[in-house]
Structure 1
Amino acid sequence: MPGHRIDLNADLGEGVGDDAAMMPLISSANIACGFHAGTPTVLVRSCASAVEHGVRIGAQVSYPDLAGFGRRFMDVSPADLLADVLYQVGALRALAASVGGTVDYVKPHGALYNAVVHHEAQARALVTAADTLGLPLMTLPGSVAQRFALEAGVTVIAEAFADRGYTREATLVPRTEPHALLTDSDEIAARVVDLARTGRIRAVDGTVLDADVESVCLHGDTPGAVEHARAVRAALDAAGVVVTR
Structure 2
Amino acid sequence: MTYTFDFNAVFASWPRLLEGAWLTIELSAISIALGFVLGTLCAIASRSRIKPLLWLINAYIEVIRNTPLLVQVFLVFFGLASIGLKLSAEVAAVIALVLNVGAYTTEIMRAGINSIHPGQIEAAECLGMSKAHVYWHVVLLPAVERVYPALSSQFILLMLASSIVSQISAEELTATANIVQSETFRSFEVYFVVAFAYLLLSFLFRGVFWLIGNGVFVRRRKLGTPI
Q: The TM-score by the shorter chain falls in which range?
A: under 0.3
Question: Whose strand proportion is higher, 1 or 2?
Answer: 1
Q: Which TM-score applies when normalising by structure 1?
A: 0.23
Question: Whose helix proportion is higher, 1 or 2?
Answer: 2
Larger C-alpha radius of gyration, 1 or 2? 2
Where relative contact order (Cα < 8 A, 6+ residues apart) is larger, the structure is: 2
